Amino acid sequence: MSATTTVSLVGVGGQGILLGAAVLAETASLAGLEVKASEVKGMAQRGGSVLSTVRFGEHVWSPVSPHADVVIATELLEGIRGLGLLGPRGTMVCAATTRITPGSVLRREEDYPDDLTGAAALRGVRLIALDAEGLAREAGTLRAVNVALLGAASAVLPFSEEDWRRGLEAAVPAKILDVNLRAFELGRAAVATQEVES
Amino acid sequence: MERQLFFSGNEAIAHGAVRAGAGFACGYPGTPSTEIIEATAGLRGIHSEWCVNEKVALETAVGASLAGVRTLVTMKHVGLNVAADPFMTLSLTGVNAGLVVISADDPGMHSSQNEQDNRNYARFAKIPMLEPSDSQEAYDFVAEAFALSEEFDTPVMLRTTTRISHGRGQVLPRVPVEVLPRDYARDISKYVMVPQYARQRNRLVLERLEKLRRRAEESPLNVLEAGSSDFGIIASGIAYSYAREAFPKAWFLKLGMSHPLPYAKVTRLYEHVSRVAVVEELDPFFEEQVRALGLPVVGKAAIPADGELDQETIFRALEPYVLRKPPRRRRPVLPPAPRLADPPKPAPGLPVRPPVLCPGCSHRSVFASLRKQKLAPMGDIGCYTLGALPPLLAMDSCLCMGASVGMMAGFNKALGKKAAVGVIGDSTFFHSGITALIDAFYNEVEGMLVILDNRTTAMTGHQGHPGTGLHPDRAQGPTVDIQKLCEGIGVRCVTVDANDHKALDAAVKAEAKAPGLGVIVALAPCVLMTRQVAGEVCVDEERCNLCGLCVDIGCPAIAPGEESIEILDSCTGCGLCVEVCKRKALTLEPKGGGA
């Protein structure tokens, strides 16, 4: 990784991409790094593809980058699309069981792609695929898919558990903090298990 | 021999427009542009109207152009500030029949609050500009402008100044131009400027500008006039006439088509003379471009940058330079055509995911009702613009905030019937639809406007507006009643529950047949705010034959399954799919009903 780390969060409008990016940005900031972030709103909110980028390091110039070190995807198709952002040493953290079918697929004009594993292997990308929906449900709300994925991504990001906890506290509204802390822990634990298995 | 006429520039433009086959002229009065519409109003074969302001005038003109009629729209320089919103995006959509925008500038501020140089607007919008230097040219250039507009699919600016508009001179009438009718053809990716289409159009604009520059190089409107002294002048418009009188022996590059600048013609002037001056009123518009070619030039260091010029001022300003030792000859550096960004490469084989109207969105039911009336929907900016995308294809145009009303008006005026319907959101109506509705009423438009009132500014995240009275801190302020507002103007108006599909159908059908102008307020709060689930849609798998009628309404909660349609969890039970199903395969079980 270069001196600046780029994390892109991809998904579908309404999936909490912006909140996920806010948690990561707060975490990096509270860890003492410079952070810049960028998101595209507006049209993207109505069920379109959404991309949010967080960059951190000793010194960060640009808030955007055409390449990412880590991509966090809250939806399978967007995860496969997001592989294009990653270089060979990048990591994809994907909610592999979450599928939101786009209109063209509903109308059978196009096919929903399936093979995340193959596509990731083809690019030489490290893949952390998990049932983030299941973890979020276990934590208490389906809406915590984004934070469960952050928990999983924490395995490859240079922050302590304490940093993450403080980041969550800073970015997540108090009402839903507990359920999000649980989702984060479940995501983090899921990767730890995967690591042991592999 | 034809009788010569003695016309002001404004009269010449009016007669030139009729000669060029223009059938529609509109504008807002403003010195020195006013007399153009006053003159067209007295001519046969052209419909003239005053609009409520310059923005609505331009939008009306765009509607008439789309309908297939050559259209002239007039305003003074500061008026183009008011019309800047449609003006800038019109460059992207282009036109159907030719559209010429008259910008009458007022150097010296005889009758204006500023003396902005509107040549900058032609450059800003990347459209061609013509500048007549007397009444004959004002007459002739109108036809040139219409021809350019249609050939290059662009609005064309015809820029005058006070002395051109109000100056008088002989005009020799010319043979009328034969204009072929241009039918309207719906072209969503050309006229609906949502981001994905606007990006494509913007590339065409940049390519068009380079083609126009090549045209400016060849155009007989840009003339290199030989002189007998070692002194050359670049000028356009009235400044050319002044300079010609001040320096009768000089070489001239006279720019009639003054944007984009013909670089090669400029450098050719330097092959004949060693001293060159740019004579122009107001900004160093040509001067800066000539300097960018690396060529030595005298401009605003000598010629005043404010107020009007005259031959005396120009002579005194430039005489010392004519006598001075010429500057060292330098080789011009022609700027290369600008590079365009690499177009985005979508990942091969992956379905795109454009934004869509939400499940249960009441806009969808309005589009379903409008579709039955076979009217061209002139759209506007908001969530409902998404209705232009497949599979709904429910919107023919989207130019700028508030443009739907004026475009509907111009379109219907040009065709003399209710051919288009305006579709605008509540917040956009408050933004700039009201003035256009006043205009449509005043100009007796046959038309229908549907206001999609979802009680919020939804697209940007549910901000307040005068109809809701909500402030940024969610404090409740006073509210404006849209129906009362419309009725106060004098427009017939009904409010219909947008979720009541049958009532909406009936209202739209009745209004489409009614004479005159009417507004339908299709009222239903945004589903994202109410999060109401009205019921559950059940599928009779025996009856469903997967015909796809319900899929065509573009609801993300409807998916064709293997044997029959499937209704997804995101369904809000709005029931529109139940309405469109011809085989009664879908039924709506009201929430809690039957239990």
- Contact yes or no for B99/B187 (Cβ under 8 A): no
Percentages helix, strand, coil for chain B (3-state, rounded to 5) are 35, 20, 45
Residue linked to tokens 């593809």: A49
The rounded distance, in Å, linking the Cα atoms of B554 and A107 is 9
The pLDDT value recorded for residue B488 is 98
Subunit contact A43:B554, Cβ cutoff 8 A: no
Backbone angles phi, psi at A33, to 5 degrees: -95, 160
Measuring CA to CA, how many Å separate B286 from each of A140, B70, B277, B337, B507?
A: 67, 30, 10, 18, 56
B237 and B286 assigned to the same domain: yes
The rounded distance, in Å, linking the Cα atoms of B464 and B471 is 6
B407 and B556 assigned to the same domain: no
The ipTM, to two decimals, is 0.87
- Contact yes or no for B246/B277 (Cβ under 8 A): no
Q: Who's near B336: CB < 8 A, 6+ residues apart?
A: none
Residue linked to tokens 């909660």: B557
The pair of three-digit structure tokens given for residue B143, joined into one six-digit string: 């036809």
In chain B, whose CA is at the least distance from the CA of A47? B355
Q: Measured between CB atoms, which of A42, A102, A113 is closest to B459? A: A42
B192 and B245 assigned to the same domain: no
Q: Measured between CB atoms, which of A46, A102, A107 is closest to B383? A: A46
How many structural domains compose chain A?
1
How many structural domains compose chain B?
4
B285 and B304 assigned to the same domain: yes
Tens-digit pLDDT profile for residues B460-505: 989 999 999 999 999 999 999 999 999 999 999 999 999 999 999 9
The pLDDT value recorded for residue B562 is 86
Q: Choosing among B192, B342, B350, B353, which should be mutated to test the A contact, i.e. which has the most A CBs within 10 A? A: B353
Subunit contact B353:A107, Cβ cutoff 8 A: no
B491 and B554 assigned to the same domain: no
Q: A105 CB near a chain B CB, below 8 Å?
A: yes
The pair of three-digit structure tokens given for residue B589, joined into one six-digit string: 């079980």
Measuring CA to CA, how many Å separate B495 from each of B72, B426, B483, B492, B588?
A: 36, 13, 7, 11, 25
Could you read off the pLDDT tens digit of each residue along chain A, which spans 198 residues?
458 999 999 999 889 999 999 999 999 999 999 999 998 776 656 788 899 999 999 999 999 999 999 999 999 999 999 999 998 889 999 999 999 989 888 888 899 998 999 999 999 999 999 999 999 999 999 999 999 999 999 999 999 999 999 999 999 999 999 999 999 999 999 998 776 555
Tens-digit pLDDT profile for residues B418-427: 999 999 999 9
The rounded distance, in Å, linking the Cα atoms of B423 and B408 is 9
The pLDDT value recorded for residue A194 is 76
- Give CA angle at B220 (B217, B226), nearest 5°: 90
- Residue A137: how many CB atoms within 10 A of its CB? 16
Question: Which residues in chain B are contacts of A108 at CB distance < 8 A?
Answer: 560
Kindly report the CATH number assigned to the domain that includes residue B580: 3.30.70.20
CA atoms within 13 A on the CB side of B134: 12
Q: Choosing among A45, A74, A80, A108, which should be mutated to test the B contact, i.e. which has the most B CBs within 10 A? A: A45
Q: What is the DSSP string of B568-579?
A: -TT-----HHHH
The pLDDT value recorded for residue A6 is 97
* Coil, strand or helix at B128: coil
Q: Which of B295, B148, B117 is nearest to B220 (CA)?
A: B148
Kindly report the CATH number assigned to the domain that includes residue B424: 3.40.50.970
Per DSSP, B181 falls in state -
- Give CA angle at B567 (B562, B572), nearest 5°: 170
Buried b (16+ CB within 10 A) or exposed e, B452-483: bbbbbbbbeeeebbbbbebeeeeeeeeeeebb
Is B214 part of a structural domain of the chain? no
Furthest CA-CA distance within chain A: 49
Mean pLDDT of B159-188: 96
The pLDDT value recorded for residue A195 is 66
Q: Choosing among B350, B555, B568, which should be mutated to test the A contact, i.e. which has the most A CBs within 10 A? A: B350
* Coil, strand or helix at A64: coil
Is B330 part of a structural domain of the chain? no
- Contact yes or no for A183/A144 (Cβ under 8 A): yes
Measuring CA to CA, how many Å separate A90 from each of A75, A147, B179, B496, B505?
A: 18, 20, 61, 54, 54
The pLDDT value recorded for residue A45 is 64
Measuring CA to CA, how many Å separate B118 from each of B16, B110, B213, B451, B559?
A: 22, 16, 19, 35, 53
* Coil, strand or helix at B481: coil
B283 and B374 assigned to the same domain: no
B183 and B273 assigned to the same domain: no
Q: Measured between CB atoms, which of B194, B356, B461 is closest to A103? A: B356
Distance, C-alpha B511 to centroid of its chain: 27
B46 and B134 assigned to the same domain: yes
Kindly report the CATH number assigned to the domain that includes residue A73: 3.40.920.10
In chain A, whose CA is at the least distance from the CA of B562? A108
The pLDDT value recorded for residue B379 is 98
The rounded distance, in Å, linking the Cα atoms of B160 and B132 is 7
The rounded distance, in Å, linking the Cα atoms of B27 and B29 is 6
- Contact yes or no for B21/B179 (Cβ under 8 A): yes
**How many residues are present in chain B?**
595
Residue B536 has pLDDT above 50, yes or no: yes
Subunit contact B354:A48, Cβ cutoff 8 A: yes
The rounded distance, in Å, linking the Cα atoms of B175 and A103 is 55
Tens-digit pLDDT profile for residues B552-579: 999 999 988 889 999 998 899 999 999 9
Q: A113 CB near a chain B CB, below 8 Å?
A: yes
Q: Which of B108, B101, B82 is nearest to B161 (CA)?
A: B108
The pLDDT value recorded for residue B559 is 87
B303 and B451 assigned to the same domain: no
pLDDT-derived band at B594, boundaries 50, 70, 90: very low
CA dihedral A26, A27, A30, A34 (to 10 degrees): -80
- Give CA angle at A71 (A67, A73), nearest 5°: 135
The pLDDT value recorded for residue B239 is 98
Distance, C-alpha B182 to centroid of its chain: 18
* Coil, strand or helix at A54: strand
- Residue A88: how many CB atoms within 10 A of its CB? 8
Q: Which of B208, B384, B233 is nearest to B321 (CA)?
A: B233
Kindly report the CATH number assigned to the domain that includes residue B277: 3.40.50.920
Q: For chain B, what is the mean pLDDT? A: 95
Provide the total of helices (H) and of strands (E) in chain A, helices listed first.
8, 6
Q: Domain residues for A21?
A: 5-197
Domain boundary among B530, B565, B581: B530
- Give CA angle at A75 (A74, A77), nearest 5°: 145
The pLDDT value recorded for residue B2 is 64
Is B211 part of a structural domain of the chain? no
The rounded distance, in Å, linking the Cα atoms of B12 and B140 is 8
In chain A, whose CA is at the least distance from the CA of B569? A100
Subunit contact A47:B358, Cβ cutoff 8 A: yes
Tens-digit pLDDT profile for residues B268-278: 999 999 999 99
Q: Which of A10, A13, A39 is nearest to B357 (CA)?
A: A13
- Contact yes or no for A117/A129 (Cβ under 8 A): yes
- Residue B195: how many CB atoms within 10 A of its CB? 12
Mean pLDDT of B157-164: 98
Residue linked to tokens 């044997």: B563
- Burial label for A197, CB within 10 Å (0-12, 13-18, 19+), is exposed
Residue B560 pairs in a beta bridge with B565
B78 and B182 assigned to the same domain: yes
The pLDDT value recorded for residue B202 is 97
Is B186 part of a structural domain of the chain? yes
Subunit contact B356:A48, Cβ cutoff 8 A: yes
The rounded distance, in Å, linking the Cα atoms of B456 and B465 is 7
Q: Domain residues for B269?
A: 222-323
